[in-house]
Copies of this chain bind each other. A is one copy, B any other.
């Protein structure tokens, strides 16, 4: 969670997973991979685990640093390859405006993600935007829109207090 230096509020809506809940999430990911002939290999699984454990968006080099069980970092390509895989399968998303990554909270495969990001505490919440409206608005000159990146910024409920 990359919060503003002076944020005094409680953490956001997505504390990291632990214990059986985390284990269940990883088992579910295994199953979804198995169903499509994809392989949730050790580094891929480890990066997903780190994302799920985190309280908020994780930077790539935070993942690199946290990768090894006993303090040994990973090499950058290891983590970037895993992130590419996780994004491709819809297990994770990149937040462009943060250069950071989150696990998917919507658990629909291949869906389009949008985020609201709290400028105070750094929480990022995924939501499913109204794309019909947006696509209509986003074709000003005959563009055929294929994907949309939407990242809103503001204050989460806790930080409005």
Given A96-B96, A97-B96, check contact A116 B129 (CB 8 Å): no
Interface string of A30-49 (1 = CB under 8 A from B): 00000000000000000000
Smallest Cβ-Cβ distance to A150: which chain B residue = B150
Residue count of chain A within 8 Å CB distance of chain B: 36
Within 8 A of B (CB), among A120-149: 125, 127, 129-130, 133-135, 137-149
Interface pair B13/A141, CB less than 8 Å apart = yes
Flag the segment in A1-9, A58-66, A151-159 that touches B: A151-159
Q: Flag whether A50 is at the interface (Cβ < 8 A).
A: no
Q: Flag whether A102 is at the interface (Cβ < 8 A).
A: no
Given A96-B96, A97-B149, A119-B146, check contact A125 B154 (CB 8 Å): no
**Selected contact of A160 from candidates B119, B144, B149, CB within 8 Å:** B144
Interface pair B145/A153, CB less than 8 Å apart = yes
Q: Flag whether A51 is at the interface (Cβ < 8 A).
A: no
Q: Which residues of B contact A151 (CB under 8 A)?
A: 96, 148-149
A68 CA / B146 CA spacing, docked (Å): 38
Smallest Cβ-Cβ distance to A96: which chain B residue = B96
6 A-B pairs with CB atoms under 8 Å apart are: A97-B149, A116-B141, A133-B134, A138-B150, A141-B157, A146-B154
